[in-house]
Amino acid sequence: MYTYETRLGSFLRLVQLLGGELLPTTLMAWILIQRDVAKVISTNFLVFVTCQSIFYFLFFTIYELGYFFNDCVAARKEIKPTIRFKNCEELKHASYPRIVIFFLACYFLSILFPFSLAYFTFYCCLALVLSLLHSNEKVEDRGLTYFWTEAFRLIAILSPFIKDTFLMITSVFIIIPEVLRRTLRYLRFKHLGCDRKFGSFDLKVILLSASVIGVFLYQLDPFYLLSLVFFYAPIMAGIALSMKISSNPSSVVNPPMDSSS
């Protein structure tokens, strides 16, 4: 997996990525759909997690094409590029089979599952297009494209099972603080020279932004606050744990890079 080789590099960072993205989106989607926290402890939830994981890795099948472009083309235009992969001809030949595999997989999964995958396919492609646009922008102008790339990355992951339009809009509201946190963290790294370690700033952004969003969600339906809590609990726990590990110099593990970095 290209993401693992170039942006993670260790099993612990893979766990951080899954715990900070796949786990929160899965919990939020399940609770929004089922409206019953107790059902998290059930066989159906395990089946749901398995299915969500399949779509998560399928998403990366096509989304990694944006990483290919960023590493082989866009990065070389930067003043201080991060060269992660040198054999770009190999990546070029690997791109076309990935596109075919992605659309074939979506087609066969749409036969297996009793719902349309049109929105999932569309959001995956849109996230890829935004990632490519992001890589083509000047470094100082990438904040906007980064925000929307991250937003549709999470929306694509949520879209296979959230079919109700109102619930999808609600989920977008819920993920906004996390997208904002990722974007601000990216800008701090690119323009202020901050390192990639998680810190109290990440927690402040989530707490403040999620509290504001929570007020509006409560007006819509108090139950939506549970989805908000279940989405951010693993993210904040992961950040706190990373900060704890980072405080021990002998155990420092850099967090996984957010997309398009």
Query: Has residue 260 been placed in a domain?
Result: no
pLDDT band for position 124 (50/70/90)?
very high
Nearest to 173 by CA among 202, 213, 146: 213
Q: CA dist 189 to 13, 183, 230, Å? A: 18, 10, 28
d(CA 149, CA 155): 10
For residue range 226-261, list pLDDT tens digits in order. 999 999 999 999 999 888 887 765 554 555 555 554
For residue range 57-90, list pLDDT tens digits in order. 999 888 888 877 777 765 555 555 555 556 666 6
Mean pLDDT of 192-215: 89
Whether pTM exceeds 0.85: no
- Total tally of structural domains belonging to the chain: 1
Query: Has residue 149 been placed in a domain?
Result: yes
d(CA 168, CA 244): 34
CA 30 to chain CA mean position, Å: 17
Query: Has residue 256 been placed in a domain?
Result: no
What is the span of the domain harbouring residue 101? Answer: 2-251
d(CA 257, CA 255): 6
CA 200 to chain CA mean position, Å: 21
For residue range 28-44, list pLDDT tens digits in order. 999 999 888 878 888 88
Query: Has residue 261 been placed in a domain?
Result: no
Structure tokens at 52: 């969500």
First to last CA, the chain: 17
